[in-house]
């Protein structure tokens, strides 16, 4: 009877896997799971975070089978990292306290745990040598703001009135050796080339469609994959875990409405970011954070949507002409449209704090300009946004090519233009006349636009372009710890599941230029280190800077229970005279691989150094990590 019940359950779960593969984002692990394929580490997403993880995993274990699953075709891979401004931020190690204050201010009023922030800033300050070594392997090099060699103080600080804003640091990018100048997509190009040079198994047009999770232990064992080219699906086991590095939900309008409350928003990055990872994480029981924040962290940018491209162009940050305005749903000006908001990721000060620009609340919005501005220069950026960085379209300097394509609406008179864009001609004319009067007065009493950037809209023909709120990134996803492990609602790691990049980003409010790419590299690299049991170089630096976990603890025994390789283990930490005096393992010890002799030697090295950042025992790395995790947990406040 028992055998019949077992067979029935096995068939039931196997059917659930078959049926759910297309209907659910998590499917249960069947009793007798038959995997189509196995790998050591499965990475979902080939953006910068995924590429960094692949490079690090290979360098830790060159013989390991690392598989990267990418949703997009090869020519469109790269995620948002290829469409970004290519800046990563590097604080000097001397600047860590000030840089931490600055990022803490950026995150208000939704701060992340202090230990997370410490780890993050330490990681940013210490990972440059690793980035340079990866670049060297790909025949790339680092370039810095201001050109030449690394010089502290050459960087873009977006919120210079915040505490710590004067931190010592630099803004950097990567470019092919000998190029000598900025390279579009340079950071992504470098890491993609580095991964390919290591012969990492990168599968394009093979998106993960579901996680495979044990319904009892909640461990993520692998993924269901769809081969888009062949129209088939297969299961792929990840023996050391699955890393979700598949971006946010910029190109999912329903998610934008549900999670951020916007009416219409588009993406200026990859059209592939439709929230797939968020759906998987939610169904897997992950704790979700940063879906809304106080602001849209990456900002609402000024997008120009055209039929030929799913992602948008960006309106030029610095318009060459001055005879132009933007109008809202009431056909009126509604803000200082010529100000350089891009320097604060499209944030404006309102009631003493930074908030998103009002475009998503002011729709429909149009850019109105005349012949003088049309002739003066491109109304769209020629170096940023997906259609340019990835699809290769360069907006013309005189805007004529786009006019011929019908992307720009033209009329001989302003009244005719109003009718073509479904506006009240009288209202539009009144707004243009008001702007004309302000130009003549030499002062924008309405919104404070610089008079040097104002000119009458009077030379026909006249033009209009619809402006759409555009997202460069979202930060929502699962809460993750400093080992890139996904946490559940009890702040416990979901076994076998990791996360990196903008999906579940540590950015919880205002975004500082360069943080996303630095975070992508750090979190992707850390996920690989955790999965393969390698000592995390950046984590060791952070731990050393913060002091021992037991610092200030009273003498006595402290206990913690943590997850080891084959179950939980109880660890007792003894403090004497304010120092680490001993470690004993209790229930669960039998399931560990570390021998008594190895354990004694490892504990002695911890006691001698009074620091948990010591080398793990070869062959028992995961057990050593469990012990150090227990030490940290035992003294967590």
Q: Give residue-wise pLDDT tens across range 351-388.
A: 999 999 999 999 999 999 999 999 999 999 998 899 99
Element holding 486 (H helix, E strand): strand 485-487
**CB 474 within 8 Å of CB 250:** yes
pLDDT of residue 534: 73
Rounded percentage of the chain residues whose pLDDT exceeds 70: 92
Q: Which CATH class is domain 300-471?
A: alpha beta
Reply yes or no on whether the pLDDT at 149 is more than 90.
Answer: no
**CB 515 within 8 Å of CB 158:** no
In the chain, where are the structural domains located?
A: 35-296+472-546, 300-471, 547-634
**CB 37 within 8 Å of CB 239:** no
Reply yes or no on whether the pLDDT at 17 is more than 60.
Answer: no
pLDDT of residue 605: 86
Question: Could you tell me where the beta strands, DSSP code E, fall in 49-153?
Answer: 66-69, 88-91, 140-144
Residue 114: φ, ψ to 5°: -60, -40
Q: What is the mean pLDDT of residues 518-534?
A: 94
Instruction: Determine the CATH number of domain 35-296+472-546.
Output: 3.50.50.60
The three-state secondary structure class of 210 is strand
pLDDT of residue 481: 96
Q: Do domains 300-471 and 547-634 have the same CATH topology?
A: no
Domain with residues 547-634, CATH architecture: Alpha-Beta Complex (3.90)
**CB 242 within 8 Å of CB 42:** yes
pLDDT classification of 108: cutoffs 50, 70, 90? very high
What are the pLDDT digits (tens) for 547-604?
677 888 898 998 988 776 567 889 999 999 889 999 999 988 888 888 888 889 889 9
pLDDT of residue 371: 98
pLDDT classification of 316: cutoffs 50, 70, 90? very high
The residue among 466, 372, 462 whose CA lies nearest residue 425 is 462
- Please state, in angstroms and rounded to a whole number, the distance separating the CA atoms of residues 269 and 78: 10
**CB 613 within 8 Å of CB 544:** yes
pLDDT of residue 179: 81
pLDDT of residue 564: 67
**CB 463 within 8 Å of CB 370:** yes
Measured CA to CA in angstroms, residue 433 lies from 95, 424, 447, 618 at distances of 51, 14, 15, 77
């Amino acid at each position: 009877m028992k055998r019949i019940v077992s067979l029935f359950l096995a068939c039931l779960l196997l059917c659930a896997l078959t049926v759910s593969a297309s209907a659910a984002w998590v499917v249960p692990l069947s009793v007798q799971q038959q995997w189509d394929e196995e790998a050591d580490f499965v990475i979902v997403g080939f953006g910068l975070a995924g590429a960094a993880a692949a490079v690090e995993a290979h360098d830790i274990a060159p013989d390991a089978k690392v598989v990267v699953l990418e949703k997009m075709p090869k020519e469109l891979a790269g995620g948002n990292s290829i469409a970004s401004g290519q800046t990563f931020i590097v604080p000097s190690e001397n600047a860590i306290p000030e840089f931490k204050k600055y990022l803490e201010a950026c995150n208000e009023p939704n701060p992340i745990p202090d230990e997370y922030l410490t780890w993050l800033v330490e990681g940013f300050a210490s990972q440059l040598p690793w980035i340079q070594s990866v670049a060297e392997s790909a025949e790339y090099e680092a370039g810095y703001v201001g050109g030449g060699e690394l010089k502290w103080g050459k960087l873009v600080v977006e919120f210079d009135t915040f505490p710590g804003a004067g931190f010592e640091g630099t803004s950097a990018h990567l470019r092919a050796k000998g190029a000598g100048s900025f390279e579009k997509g340079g950071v992504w190009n470098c890491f993609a080339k580095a991964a390919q040079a290591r012969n990492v198994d990168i599968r394009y047009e093979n998106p993960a469609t579901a996680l495979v999770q044990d319904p009892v232990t909640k461990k993520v064992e692998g993924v269901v994959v769809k081969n888009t080219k062949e129209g088939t699906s297969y299961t792929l086991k990840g023996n050391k875990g699955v890393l979700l590095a598949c971006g946010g939900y910029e190109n999912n309008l329903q998610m934008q409405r549900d999670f951020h409350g916007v009416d219409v928003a588009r993406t200026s990055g990859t059209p592939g970011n439709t929230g797939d990872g968020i759906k998987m994480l939610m169904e897997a029981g992950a704790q979700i954070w940063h879906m809304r924040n106080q602001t849209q962290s990456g900002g609402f940018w000024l997008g120009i949507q055209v039929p030929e491209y799913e992602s948008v162009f960006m309106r030029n940050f610095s318009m060459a002409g001055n005879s132009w305005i933007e109008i809202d749903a009431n056909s009126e000006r509604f803000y200082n449209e010529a100000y350089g908001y891009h320097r604060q990721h499209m944030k404006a000060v309102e009631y003493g704090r930074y908030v998103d620009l009002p475009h998503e609340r002011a729709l429909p919005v149009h850019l109105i300009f005349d012949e003088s501005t049309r002739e003066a220069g491109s109304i769209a950026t020629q170096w940023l946004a997906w259609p340019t960085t990835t699809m290769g379209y360069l907006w013309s300097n005189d805007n004529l090519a786009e006019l011929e394509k019908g992307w720009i609406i033209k009329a001989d008179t302003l009244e005719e233009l109003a009718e073509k864009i479904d506006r009240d001609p009288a209202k539009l004319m009144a707004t243009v006349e008001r702007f004309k009067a302000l130009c003549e007065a030499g002062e924008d009493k309405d919104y404070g636009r610089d008079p040097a950037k104002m000119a009458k809209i009077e030379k026909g023909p006249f033009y209009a372009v619809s402006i759409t709120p555009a997202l460069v990134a979202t930060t929502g996803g699962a809460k993750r710890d400093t080992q890139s492990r996904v946490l559940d609602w009890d702040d416990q790691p979901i076994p076998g599941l990791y996360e990196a990049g903008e999906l579940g980003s540590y950015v919880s409010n205002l975004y500082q230029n360069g943080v996303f790419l630095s975070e992508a590299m750090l979190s992707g690299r850390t996920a690989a280190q955790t999965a393969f049991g390698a000592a995390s170089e950046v984590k060791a630096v952070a731990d050393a800077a913060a002091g021992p976990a037991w610092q200030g603890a009273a003498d006595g025994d402290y206990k913690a229970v943590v997850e080891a390789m084959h179950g939980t283990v109880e660890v007792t930490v003894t403090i004497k005279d304010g120092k680490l005096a001993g470690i004993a393992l209790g229930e669960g010890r039998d399931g560990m691989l570390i021998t008594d002799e190895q354990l004694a030697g490892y504990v002695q090295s911890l006691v001698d150094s009074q620091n948990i950042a010591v080398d793990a025992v070869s062959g028992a790395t995961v057990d050593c990590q469990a012990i150090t995790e227990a030490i940290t947990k035992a003294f967590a406040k």
